[in-house]
Amino acid sequence: MYCHYAEQTFNTGLKLELLQKYVFVALDIFQKNIQNKITCKFENKLEAWLTFLSEDDPEIILKLIETYPEFKALYEDGYRLCLNIEEVMRMFSKELAELDKNTVQLMIDEMQDELDEKNDILAEMKIQISEKDNAISEIRIKLSEKDNAISEKDHLIDELTQKLQRLTEELQNR
């Protein structure tokens, strides 16, 4: 087996026809299967395409073109492209430049996302600090009020103590 077919399913048993279907082709296993066959007989179009994509033996390529003449134009295009190395290099350079540009943009986007996330965290922390500052201010106000109340009571105690001493002295003097 060199072709692996897959599609998405749901663990809940939901039946939903999705567009995503996958085919994984193991070209190395396909090559081993073809090499085990004594004659190069292409049983179907799939085998022909896989041979086209994976084979570099000239004899097998000729047999493929004899069986499926439409592959001749594709091989000719590939051959012409290989002859013009400058064109190949330009094509790869252009693609690499595009990949580099996309990579840089992706990195910028990721860094911007990180920065936004950190700014959100910072803003949240500032709010928490502000709330705690307000709570501390309220506690200080209450503490100040209690200090004032204690001072008033101390003052009252002092007055009552003085009054008690006077009354005690008056009683002793009588």
Which tens digit of pLDDT belongs to each residue from 37-84? Answer: 656 677 788 888 888 888 888 888 888 899 899 999 998 888 887 788
Supply the pLDDT for residue 141: 96
- Give the closest residue to 46 by CA, choosing from 25, 28, 72: 25
Which tens digit of pLDDT belongs to each residue from 90-140? Answer: 878 888 888 888 888 999 999 999 999 999 999 999 999 999 999 999 999
Rounded to 5°, the CA angle 117-118-122 comes to: 120
Rounded to 5°, the CA angle 105-99-50 comes to: 140
**Distance in angstroms (rounded) separating the CA atoms of residues 109 and 98:** 16
> For the whole prediction, is pTM greater than 0.95?
no
> Confidence class of residue 86 from pLDDT cuts 50, 70 and 90?
confident
Give the pairing type, strands 21-25 and 3-7.
Answer: antiparallel
Cα pseudo-dihedral 52, 53, 55, 56, rounded to 10? 100
- Is residue 51 within 8 A of residue 42, CB to CB? The reply is yes
Task: Please say if the pLDDT value at position 14 is more than 80.
Answer: yes
- Is residue 35 within 8 A of residue 7, CB to CB? The reply is no
